[in-house]
């Protein structure tokens, strides 16, 4: 039996559009060995997902079709099979986990029935036998109480649970190859760690190979055996994991590493890849990365590079690695390795608090019955204290559902707090109503997580940016507003002519820049940034983080940065508040919280972050179960049901705040008085 399970040779997939032929996948070749995890890495739009759909022969027709290439599974060319033959392959020999589990699951079928459908199709089992297999699969993927979950619907499960169901469906046919398309993108780091560990354990038990599609270098470092980097429809570098992370060779690969934020880069600007992925509807003459490459010279624009074999089976598609071209390469292009620059020194700002939040609570009533009587409450935010000084950034971190976004909206009075105090420059915002509150609106603004859904698709960018100025009466004169829009576009690095275009005409990173310009239009002092980079690629994330830091230095802005990405926190924030189930469990400076975490929940969060340093390996603290419901939080310390250090007192009462230093505190009986 051959060691190679899947062999892809010269695969090309094209789409016929009004703008011409889009070459989504262009002459792609790679091999996946039995039991291997092969990672396909790259930015959005580079062709990763379309490569996987082409392997499954699920390319959307009639616009798309595979125009060339061979796909061999165990020596059999899948391109020769009729559709009926491919149906026997899909879900059986090759299975796929899609990126978004909620849209992949049928909302009107129970999860048990959805898994049983695959069991009946590929194992020819039915009735009690099929049910037994489904229960075994639910147990294998770590879903508690499989018999109860069997009859539940997707909306009754958490994000992590839904992803586990997708894995169970994929495993139901006992596949030889599992294609995992961004399987952890929408998950918190703790749930991500659980899902990745589960995939690793199942792979060891079954011996299946995995094609892992991702843009997360940390996930690749923890999971992959081999790596292929994709750009503009082509693979540009192939290598073993250790060799790739030790010494990436292609300029694009190196830029991806330089773009990653971490606490060690706090004093520097992150490297950015200028521009965007080129349109795949154009004919390429030279290197596809040449227009964005700092090391490109004339030849790169005139001639496409071939593959160059390196030691250890590594292959790179780049003229820099051609020894015969060394004499032609300009001396100034001697493969620079670091694209970072020194950040502007932070302006000195007063340390008097701009914002002070004391014991803020947001409780949502649960109403039932014909008369809609209140039968309980959702304790979304349950007594939070924090303060933000002028020109400083406080990061709010924690799992989805812990109340981070609700706090941001309560501070801005978009949701009225149930109790507590919110003071902005000494004014108590919870007491302001009507015109008095409107007069303060320009001082605090919000950047939402999804830039596209937060903009009116029927309005041009000029109107979108002006909207806040018009509503709050910032600029009365139309000419002054237009001038302000042009100034703001310059500020966020967009061309002035962009104001005459619509949101759909921009990339994700450009849309986020437009949202930042809209926020700045009313000259705020505080900006709530609600996961502003979570949906962005590594290089685009670096651009936005550089911009936010630059604007803070120039304008003295304060940020409440809501995120679950602790690498971003290490780079951007000054202080960190860690939230769990509506309460802050640890608070301190970035150095204190990230380098010396004291609360068990913070320790678990930090241990779950994938690391790319192959010499650094830490034990992941696996939290059992999911976040409890905020409508019925556990008694005592809310975290005790998942805490590896729980003591009897933890279930009896909530711990008081314990000062660990002048700036560092935690709510935990491990450090406080247990009496």
Dump pLDDT digits (tens) for 176-185: 999 998 887 7
Point out the least confidently predicted range of 20-29, 211-220, 527-536, 567-576: 527-536
> How many whole angstroms separate alpha carbon 609 and alpha carbon 223?
13
> How many whole angstroms separate alpha carbon 10 and alpha carbon 27?
4
Say whether pLDDT at 186 is over 80.
no
User: In which band, very low, low, confident or very high, does the pLDDT at 349 lie, cut at 50, 70 and 90?
Assistant: very low
CA-based nearest residue to 314, from 232, 216, 247, 214: 247
Average pLDDT in the chain: 89
pLDDT at residue 334, as a whole number: 46
pLDDT at residue 331, as a whole number: 65
Overall fold of domain 353-667: Rossmann fold (3.40.50)
Q: How far is CA 413 from CA 39, 54, 424, 444, in A?
A: 45, 49, 11, 10
Could you read off the pLDDT of 79-115 as tens digits, one per residue?
A: 999 999 999 999 889 999 887 777 789 999 999 999 9
> How many whole angstroms separate alpha carbon 577 and alpha carbon 407?
12
Domain boundaries, the chain: 34-61+81-246, 251-342, 353-667
Could you read off the pLDDT of 235-264 as tens digits, one per residue?
A: 999 999 999 999 999 999 999 999 999 888
Are 350 and 327 spatial neighbours (Cβ–Cβ below 8 Å)? Answer: no
User: In which band, very low, low, confident or very high, does the pLDDT at 338 lie, cut at 50, 70 and 90?
Assistant: very low
Percent of the chain with pLDDT over 90: 59
Same fold, 34-61+81-246 and 353-667: yes
Task: Compute the average pLDDT of residues 577-601.
Answer: 95
CA-based nearest residue to 89, from 104, 74, 110: 74
Could you read off the pLDDT of 462-496 as tens digits, one per residue?
A: 999 999 999 998 888 899 999 999 999 988 888 88
**Considering only the top CATH level, what class is 34-61+81-246?**
alpha beta
Task: Compute the average pLDDT of residues 507-529.
Answer: 90
Say whether pLDDT at 310 is over 90.
no
Could you read off the pLDDT of 270-285 as tens digits, one per residue?
A: 988 887 788 888 889 9
From edge to edge, which strands make up the β-sheet containing 393-397? 444-447, 526-530, 558-563, 393-397, 575-580, 583-589, 665-667, 657-659
Q: pTM for this structure?
A: 0.85
CA-based nearest residue to 175, from 2, 30, 34: 34
Percent of the chain with pLDDT over 70: 95
pLDDT at residue 302, as a whole number: 92
Could you read off the pLDDT of 381-423 as tens digits, one per residue?
A: 999 999 999 999 999 998 888 899 999 999 999 999 999 999 9
pLDDT at residue 236, as a whole number: 96
Task: Compute the average pLDDT of residues 126-136.
Answer: 92
């Amino acid at each position: 039996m051959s060691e190679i399970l899947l062999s892809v040779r010269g695969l090309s997939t094209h789409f016929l559009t009004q703008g011409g032929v889009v070459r989504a996948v262009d002459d792609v070749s790679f091999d996946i060995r039995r039991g291997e995890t092969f990672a396909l890495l790259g930015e959005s739009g580079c062709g990763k997902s379309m490569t996987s759909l082409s392997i499954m022969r699920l390319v959307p027709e009639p616009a798309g079709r595979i125009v060339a290439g061979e796909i061999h599974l165990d020596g059999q060319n899948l391109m020769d099979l009729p559709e009926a033959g491919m149906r026997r392959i899909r879900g059986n020999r090759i299975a796929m986990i899609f990126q978004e589990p909620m849209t992949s699951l049928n909302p009107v079928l129970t999860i048990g029935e959805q898994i049983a459908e695959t069991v009946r199709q590929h194992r020819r089992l039915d009735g009690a036998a099929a049910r037994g297999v489904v229960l075994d699969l639910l147990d294998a993927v770590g879903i508690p109480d499989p018999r109860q979950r069997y009859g539940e619907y997707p909306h009754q499960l958490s994000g992590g649970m839904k992803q586990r169901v997708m894995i169970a469906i994929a495993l139901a046919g006992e596949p030889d190859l599992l294609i995992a398309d961004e399987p952890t993108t929408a998950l918190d780091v703790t749930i991500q760690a659980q899902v990745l560990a589960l995939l690793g354990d199942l792979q060891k038990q079954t011996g299946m190979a995995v094609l892992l599609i991702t843009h997360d270098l940390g996930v690749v470092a923890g999971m992959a055996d081999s790596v292929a980097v994709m750009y503009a429809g082509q693979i540009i570098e192939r290598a073993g994991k250790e060799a790739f992370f030790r010494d990436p060779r292609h300029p694009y690969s190196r830029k991806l590493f330089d773009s990653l934020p971490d606490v060690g880069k706090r004093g520097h600007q992150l490297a950015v890849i200028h521009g965007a992925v080129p349109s795949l509807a154009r004919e390429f003459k030279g290197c596809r990365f040449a227009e964005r490459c700092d090391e490109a010279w004339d030849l790169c624009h005139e001639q496409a590079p071939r593959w160059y074999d390196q030691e250890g089976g590594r292959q790179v598609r780049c003229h820099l690695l051609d020894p015969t071209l060394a004499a032609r390469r300009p001396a100034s292009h001697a493969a620079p390795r670091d694209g970072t620059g020194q950040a502007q020194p932070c302006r000195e700002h007063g340390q008097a608090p701009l914002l002070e939040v004391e014991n803020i609570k947001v409780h949502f009533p649960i109403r039932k019955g014909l008369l809609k009587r209140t039968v309980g409450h959702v304790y979304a935010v349950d007594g939070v204290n924090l303060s933000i000084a002028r020109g400083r950034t406080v990061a709010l971190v924690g799992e989805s559902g812990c109340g981070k976004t609700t706090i941001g909206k309560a501070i801005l009075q978009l949701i009225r707090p149930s109790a507590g105090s919110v003071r902005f420059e000494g004014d108590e915002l919870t007491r302001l109503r009507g015109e008095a509150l409107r007069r303060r609106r320009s001082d605090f603004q919000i950047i939402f997580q999804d830039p596209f859904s937060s903009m009116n698709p029927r309005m041009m960018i000029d109107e979108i940016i002006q909207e806040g100025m018009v509503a709050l009466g910032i600029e009365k004169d139309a000419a002054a507003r237009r001038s302000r829009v042009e100034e703001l576009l310059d500020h966020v690095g967009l061309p002035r002519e962009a104001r005459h275009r619509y949101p759909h005409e921009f990339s994700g990173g450009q849309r986020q820049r437009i949202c930042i310009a809209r926020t700045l239009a009313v000259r705020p002092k505080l900006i709530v940034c609600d996961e502003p980079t979570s949906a962005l690629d590594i290089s685009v994330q670096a651009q936005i983080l550089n911009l936010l830091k630059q604007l803070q230095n120039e304008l003295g802005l304060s940020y409440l940065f809501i995120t679950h990405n602790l690498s971003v926190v290490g780079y951007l924030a000054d202080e960190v508040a860690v939230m769990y189930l509506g309460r802050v469990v640890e608070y301190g400076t970035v150095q204190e919280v990230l380098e010396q975490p004291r609360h068990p929940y913070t320790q678990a969060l930090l241990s779950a972050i994938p690391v790319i340093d192959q010499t650094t390996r830490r034990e992941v603290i696996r939290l059992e179960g999911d976040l409890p419901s905020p409508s019925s939080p556990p008694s005592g310390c809310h975290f005790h049901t998942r805490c590896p250090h729980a003591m009897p007192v933890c279930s009896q009462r909530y711990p008081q705040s314990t000062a660990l230093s002048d700036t560092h505190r935690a709510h935990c009986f491990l450090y406080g008085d247990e009496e």
